[in-house]
Structures are given as C-alpha cells and as structure tokens.
A and B are shown apart, each in its own frame.
Chain A
Amino acid sequence: MTVTLTNLTKRIGRKEVVTDISFTWRPGEITGLVGRNGAGKTTLFRTMMLQYIPDSGTIQINDQTVTPNTNFTQSIFFVDSQDNFFGNSPLAEIASWFTLVYPQFSLDSFWQEIDHFKIPRESRWSGLSKGMQATILMALALASNVPYIILDEPFSGLDVIAREQVTQMIIDAAAEHHTAFLISSHDLEELDGISDRVLILKDHHILHDYMLEELREEAKKIQVVFRHNEVPAAIKKEGTLIRVTGQVLEIVFLHYDETIETALQDAQPVFMEDLPLTLTDIFRTTAVHDTDYLLGKEVYEK
C-alpha cells in the first residue's frame, strides 16, 4: 500500500499554496518534510487530507483516487496541530472521540503509552505541558493503528527529553509495525538519523527529494583553507559553500567524484579535513541561493 500524490496543486485566492507536488510515500518509510517558514508544509498536509480541495492533481491510496467522500481514517493519521479541538477535555474524552473516528483505534494501547510516560490518566488537555501534549498526540497516532502517520512539527517547543520520547515512539512504530511517517520539522538534528528520505519544500513546491543514505554515500563535506584564499574554479562549480569561519571554508559536494578529488589535491590546500554530512548541511546546501542567505558570496565571487 502506498500513498501517491500526482501534480497536486492548490490555489487560495490568486495565490498558489501547493504547486505541482508529486511523490510516492512508501510503506515503512520515514520521510522528513523540511522547508523554511512559509514554504507550505502545513498547507500541503491539509491539501493531502482534502481539508482543502485541490485545484488539480490527484491523491491515491493504494491505487484508489481519493475523493471528498474518502474515509482516510483506516490509512492515514493527521491531527492539525495548529487547529485541533481538544480544548480542556479530559484524556478519556479525547480518546473516545478517536475510537469513533479511527475504526482500528486501540484504547488499550493508548492507555499503555500514557501510563508508560507517567502522564496522569485524569489529565485535561489544556492543563498539560507541551511535552506531554506531544506525547499524547503520538500515543493517539500510534493507537490509531494506521500504516501512515503525518506529524506536523512534532518536536516544536519541546525540551530534549520530550523530543527523545517522541523520537523513541517513532522508531518503535517503524521497527515493530512498519509504520510510515511524514514529519515536518525545523529540528533537522532530530530528523537526521531517523529519516529514510527528505523532501525539501520551497515556495510550495518540492525542490529536492533525497534518499538520505544514498546521498550520504555520494556526497562529501570538507573544511578547507586554500592558499591565498583562492578557490579553484572546479570547486566553485561543483561545491556549495555553506559556512565561512575566518579563512576556513566548509564546502559540500552533493556528487563527489574523482574530478573534484583531483582538483582539491592539485590546489594543495593549506589545510583540509573531511567532516560528517548532516541533514542541516544538506538543507543549507539547497537554501544557499536564497536571497536572504547569501553567505560567503564575496569569497566565491572574487
């Protein structure tokens, strides 16, 4: 079973808020959705779930095109974190709504998670900390027993421990039930190790779609100091400068090969070292041409 978006486009007024988005979300795959503020992450989720009716394009679940009458609740979990209806309700009441909406919802597994994280069962939603609310939202998602879970900024505003709890719950579900996740987040460190794949959203469109392990095998990040600060032309062409600290340049090559290797050796840099490539680096590499992100331009253009 897969979820496939094909050329999905949505306009609100005259503005396109989802622009020609296509991707296939595969079973058991953890996909990170990253983009700068306003790139259209939440809007994409709302359109995928037909809370906004798309202007064109299709969404298919298991080769079946979804319509406004499609019931998603056996396949996809999504709770709009910016606009939910939990108010000051007690947990039991929230859970009972979910049993009505999600046919496979398991109250047992919900309470197990709640007890596991030592959240008092009689709690009311609005009286809980952000961390506990995030854990409860995860517990609801997992108890729904659906193969696809959308999480909108699940780490936002959480402390380290709460973030780890959420990550732990994601890893467990993926390992034990082969659950697929689509996770929007600004917390790239948290997404880095757990994601199979990352979609980089820019201006409401998918700019890049990377399988992370494949990218890591192909890419390379170095820090380097060139003689007289002269960056060889081949390096300028193939590499993206993501950080400058004094004379030290951090450069990412998304497709590292022998030509680059030779160019680097020929330049006989004063200093050169490999660095691990993180998701933050990958994101910086793709954002580096943004007009408000013209880091080190003077170095590359001199």
Chain B
Amino acid sequence: MQNPRSLAYYERLALKVKDQVLTGIWQVGDKLPSVREMAQQERLNPNTVAKAYRQLEADGVIEVQPGKGTFIKDSPPSAPQQTVLWQQLSAWLINAGTAGITRQQIDVFLDTNFSPKEVSHP
C-alpha cells in the first residue's frame, strides 16, 4: 500500500500496522512492541505511539492484555464498517471514472497494492 500523506503521525502509524497485519507481517496473537520500543523504532513521540495504539484498539486490530502487553487480535469482519467502506468505494469509483481513471488502471493498482492475507488460518 502506498504511504498515505498529509495525515497525522498517529494515523500513519496505525495504518502502517493495519497494512502489516493484512500482508501477514503480523499474525494473530503476535505481540507488538511496547509503546517505548515502537517509539524508538519509529523515532516518534511516545504520546503519538500511544494514540496510534488506542486507535488500533478501538478499530479491533489489537488488544491490550494488562501486565502482558499488546497483541494482534483476530478481528472478525465488521458488517457496519464494511457497509461504510463499500459506499465510500462506490463514490470513489464514480469520481475516478469522471477523472478518466480506467478499469484496467484500477486492476493494475489492486494487483500491486492490495494483498490481503490468505484466508486459511489453521
């Protein structure tokens, strides 16, 4: 996925983690680095990292187990969220068509950028 721009740094970090979950870099049950470790890795303010983690928790991507750490959660498909996203995509496709983006260009983009994890989890 392309790095989104003009976002707050906490949003960027949250998106990065979500992307890494989709591409399988993080698996369900994996322990994420602590806020301090992640702040070091990303050279970010710890408050910013904590905010990204709160966002990820609210989005059901991670869960905090007190005293143990932060773990990647098995996030079940969320029907309401999907509805919103489909609506946004429909609107986007109409605008894209008007702007002259072709079906073929979208296919190429999807092939190179969108690779959700295989559904087969043991």
A contact residues vs B (CB 8 Å cutoff): 28-30, 164, 167-168, 171-172, 174-176, 193-196, 212-214, 216-217, 219-221, 256, 274-277
Q: A171-B44, A214-B8 are in contact. List 9 more A-B contacts (CB 8 A).
A: A172-B36, A172-B40, A174-B46, A175-B39, A193-B43, A196-B48, A212-B9, A275-B5, A276-B5
- Which residues of chain B in 24-52 are interfacial with respect to chain A, using CB atoms and an 8 Å cutoff? 35-36, 39-40, 42-48, 51
Contacts of B35 in A (CB 8 A): 175
Q: How distant is the Cα of A164 from the Cα of B40 in the complex, in angstroms?
A: 10
Contacts of A171 in B (CB 8 A): 36, 39-40, 43-46
- Interface residue tally on B, bucketed by range: 20 to 34
Query: Is B10 located at the chain interface by the 8 A CB criterion?
Result: yes
Smallest CB-CB A-B distances: 4 pairs: A175-B36, A175-B46, A216-B8, A274-B5
Closest Cβ neighbor of B36 among chain A residues: A175
B contact residues vs A (CB 8 Å cutoff): 3, 5-11, 35-36, 39-40, 42-48, 51
For the complex formed, measure the closest distance between the CB of A28 and the CB atoms of chain B, giving whole angstroms: 7
Q: Are B8 and A174 in contact (CB under 8 A)?
A: no
Q: How distant is the Cα of A195 from the Cα of B5 in the complex, in angstroms?
A: 19
For the complex formed, measure the closest distance between the CB of A238 and the CB atoms of chain B, giving whole angstroms: 15
For the complex formed, measure the closest distance between the CB of B36 and the CB atoms of chain A, giving whole angstroms: 4
Q: Are B40 and A193 in contact (CB under 8 A)?
A: no
Contacts of A276 in B (CB 8 A): 3, 5-6
Q: Are B7 and A216 in contact (CB under 8 A)?
A: yes
Contacts of B9 in A (CB 8 A): 193, 212-213, 216
Contacts of A256 in B (CB 8 A): 6
Q: Are B42 and A274 in contact (CB under 8 A)?
A: no
Q: Are A193 and B5 in contact (CB under 8 A)?
A: no
Closest Cβ neighbor of A167 among chain B residues: B43
Contacts of A219 in B (CB 8 A): 6
**Given B3, B45, B51, which contacts A193 in the complex, CB threshold below 8 Å?**
B45
Contacts of B36 in A (CB 8 A): 171-172, 175-176
Q: Are B6 and A194 in contact (CB under 8 A)?
A: no
Q: Are B43 and A277 in contact (CB under 8 A)?
A: no
Q: Are B47 and A28 in contact (CB under 8 A)?
A: yes
Q: How distant is the Cα of A167 from the Cα of B35 in the complex, in angstroms?
A: 15
In this complex, the member of B5, B6, B9, B51 whose beta carbon has the largest number of chain A beta carbons within 10 angstroms is: B6
Closest Cβ neighbor of A256 among chain B residues: B6
**Given A28, A29, A193, which contacts B42 in the complex, CB threshold below 8 Å?**
A193
Q: Are B42 and A196 in contact (CB under 8 A)?
A: no
In this complex, the member of B9, B42, B46 whose beta carbon has the largest number of chain A beta carbons within 10 angstroms is: B46
For the complex formed, measure the closest distance between the CB of A127 and the CB atoms of chain B, giving whole angstroms: 30
Q: Are A193 and B7 in contact (CB under 8 A)?
A: no
For the complex formed, measure the closest distance between the CB of B3 and the CB atoms of chain A, giving whole angstroms: 8
Contacts of A277 in B (CB 8 A): 6
For the complex formed, measure the closest distance between the CB of A197 and the CB atoms of chain B, giving whole angstroms: 10
- 25 contacting pairs across A/B (C-beta < 8 A): A30-B45, A30-B47, A171-B40, A171-B44, A171-B46, A172-B36, A174-B45, A174-B47, A175-B35, A175-B36, A193-B9, A193-B43, A193-B44, A194-B44, A194-B45, A212-B9, A213-B8, A213-B48, A216-B7, A217-B8, A219-B6, A256-B6, A274-B6, A276-B3, A276-B5
